[in-house]
Chains A and B, each alone.
Chain A
Amino acid sequence: MTFGHQMARIYKLSFMKNARLYAKYSLVFFLLVILAACKQHNKNITLVWKGHRATGILIPQYLIRDVSALGASHSVKVIISGNKESQGILGDFTLNDDQVLFEPLIPLSPGLSYAILQDNKLIGQIKVPLNTGEQAPQLITIYPEKDTVPENQLKFYFHFSKPMRTGQSLDHVYLLDAHKDTMRNVFLNLQPELWDTSGTVLTLWLDPGRIKRGLVLNKKLGNPLKKAERYQLVVSQEWKDNRGLKLAKNYTKQFVAGDRDEQSPDITNWQLNIPKAGTSSRLIIDTRENLDHYLLQESIRIVDANGAMIKGTSELSAKDRQWKFTPAGPWKAQTYKIKVAGKLEDLAGNNLNRVFDRDITKDKQSRDNAYYERGFEIRP
Chain B
Amino acid sequence: MKRTYLFLAAGIIGLLLFAGINRKPTAPYGFITGTPEIKSITALTFGPTGVLFIGDSQSAAVFAMDTKDTKKAAAKAYELQNVDAKIAEALGTTKDNITITDMAVNPVSKKLYIAVKSADGSPVLLTMTPDNQIKPVSLKDISFSSVELNDAPAVATDPTNRRAMQNRISSISDMGYADGKLMLSGLCNKEFSSSFRTISFPFTGKQEEESTLEMYHTSHGRYETTSPIRTFTTAMIDGKNYLVASYTCTPLVLFAMDELKPGAHVKGRTIAEMGNQNTPSDMIWLKENNQNYLVMANSARPAVKVSYDDIQKFQGSLTQQMPTSGGTNFTKLPYEKVLQLDKLDDDKAVLIQKKDNGEIDLWTSNGKNL
* A residues lining the B interface (CB < 8 Å): 53, 78-80, 83, 86-87, 89-91, 104-109, 112, 114, 154-155, 163, 165-167, 185, 188-199, 201, 203, 205, 208-209, 212, 214-217, 240, 242-244, 292, 294-295, 297-301, 309, 311-314, 325, 339-341, 343, 345, 349, 351, 356, 359-361, 371
Q: Which of B89, B157, B322 contacts A299 (CB 8 A)?
A: B157
- Residues of A within 8 Å of B167, CB to CB, are 196-198, 201, 294
Cα separation A351 to B58 with both chains bound (whole Å): 25
* B residues lining the A interface (CB < 8 Å): 39-40, 42, 57-60, 89-94, 97-99, 101, 117-122, 124, 126, 134-136, 152, 154-161, 163-169, 171-173, 187-193, 214, 219-225, 227, 248-249, 276-277, 279, 281, 299, 321-323
Determine if B220 and A216 form an interchain contact, defined as CB atoms under 8 angstroms apart.
Answer: yes
Determine if B91 and A89 form an interchain contact, defined as CB atoms under 8 angstroms apart.
Answer: yes
- Residues of A within 8 Å of B40, CB to CB, are 192
Cα separation A339 to B187 with both chains bound (whole Å): 25
- Residues of A within 8 Å of B249, CB to CB, are 209, 217
Q: Which of A86, A87, A314, A361 contacts B158 (CB 8 A)?
A: A314
Cα separation A294 to B169 with both chains bound (whole Å): 12
A83 touching B189 in the complex, CB below 8 Å, given contacts A298-B165, A313-B158: no
Nearest CB to that of A362 among chain B residues?
Answer: B222
Determine if B221 and A300 form an interchain contact, defined as CB atoms under 8 angstroms apart.
Answer: no
Determine if B164 and A197 form an interchain contact, defined as CB atoms under 8 angstroms apart.
Answer: no
Nearest CB to that of A323 among chain B residues?
Answer: B157
Determine if A216 and B89 form an interchain contact, defined as CB atoms under 8 angstroms apart.
Answer: no
Determine if A105 and B220 form an interchain contact, defined as CB atoms under 8 angstroms apart.
Answer: no
A109 touching B224 in the complex, CB below 8 Å, given contacts A203-B189, A216-B323, A244-B119: no
Q: Which of B58, B117, B171, B192 contacts A356 (CB 8 A)?
A: B192
Whole-angstrom distance from the CB of A49 to the nearest CB of chain B? Answer: 13
- Residues of B within 8 Å of A345, CB to CB, are 191-192
Determine if B191 and A295 form an interchain contact, defined as CB atoms under 8 angstroms apart.
Answer: yes
With A112-B92, A114-B92, A209-B248 given, name 18 new contacts (CB 8 A).
Answer: A78-B92, A86-B89, A89-B89, A90-B90, A90-B91, A106-B120, A154-B192, A155-B192, A192-B173, A194-B189, A196-B169, A209-B219, A243-B120, A244-B119, A295-B191, A340-B155, A343-B152, A360-B224
Whole-angstrom distance from the CB of A126 to the nearest CB of chain B? Answer: 12
A359 touching B223 in the complex, CB below 8 Å, given contacts A314-B157, A349-B192: yes
Q: Most chain-A Cβ atoms within 10 A of its Cβ — which of B59, B60, B221?
A: B221
Whole-angstrom distance from the CB of A360 to the nearest CB of chain B? Answer: 5
Determine if B157 and A106 form an interchain contact, defined as CB atoms under 8 angstroms apart.
Answer: no
Cα separation A78 to B188 with both chains bound (whole Å): 41
A166 touching B158 in the complex, CB below 8 Å, given contacts A196-B189, A217-B249: no
Determine if A109 and B192 form an interchain contact, defined as CB atoms under 8 angstroms apart.
Answer: no
Q: Most chain-B Cβ atoms within 10 A of its Cβ — which of A188, A209, A298?
A: A298
Cα separation A179 to B187 with both chains bound (whole Å): 34
Q: Which of B118, B169, B222 contacts A197 (CB 8 A)?
A: B169
25 contacts between A and B (CB under 8 A): A80-B89, A90-B126, A106-B92, A109-B92, A155-B192, A165-B119, A192-B172, A194-B171, A194-B188, A195-B169, A197-B166, A197-B167, A198-B167, A214-B221, A217-B276, A244-B120, A294-B167, A294-B190, A297-B161, A311-B159, A313-B160, A341-B155, A351-B191, A360-B222, A360-B225
Q: Which of A86, A199, A297 contacts B157 (CB 8 A)?
A: A297
Determine if A189 and B299 form an interchain contact, defined as CB atoms under 8 angstroms apart.
Answer: yes
- Residues of B within 8 Å of A185, CB to CB, are 277
Cα separation A295 to B60 with both chains bound (whole Å): 18
Cα separation A150 to B122 with both chains bound (whole Å): 38
Whole-angstrom distance from the CB of A128 to the nearest CB of chain B? Answer: 10
Determine if A301 and B91 form an interchain contact, defined as CB atoms under 8 angstroms apart.
Answer: no
Determine if B159 and A105 form an interchain contact, defined as CB atoms under 8 angstroms apart.
Answer: no
Cα separation A205 to B120 with both chains bound (whole Å): 25
- Residues of B within 8 Å of A299, CB to CB, are 154-155, 157
Whole-angstrom distance from the CB of B357 to the nearest CB of chain A? Answer: 17
Determine if A192 and B57 form an interchain contact, defined as CB atoms under 8 angstroms apart.
Answer: yes
Whole-angstrom distance from the CB of B268 to the nearest CB of chain A? Answer: 13
Determine if A216 and B166 form an interchain contact, defined as CB atoms under 8 angstroms apart.
Answer: no
Whole-angstrom distance from the CB of B253 to the nearest CB of chain A? Answer: 15
Determine if A203 and B93 form an interchain contact, defined as CB atoms under 8 angstroms apart.
Answer: no
Cα separation A356 to B156 with both chains bound (whole Å): 24
Q: Which of B158, B277, B279 contacts A301 (CB 8 A)?
A: B158
Determine if B42 and A192 form an interchain contact, defined as CB atoms under 8 angstroms apart.
Answer: yes
Determine if B93 and A109 form an interchain contact, defined as CB atoms under 8 angstroms apart.
Answer: yes
Determine if A300 and B155 form an interchain contact, defined as CB atoms under 8 angstroms apart.
Answer: yes
- Residues of A within 8 Å of B154, CB to CB, are 298-299, 341, 343
- Residues of B within 8 Å of A89, CB to CB, are 89-92
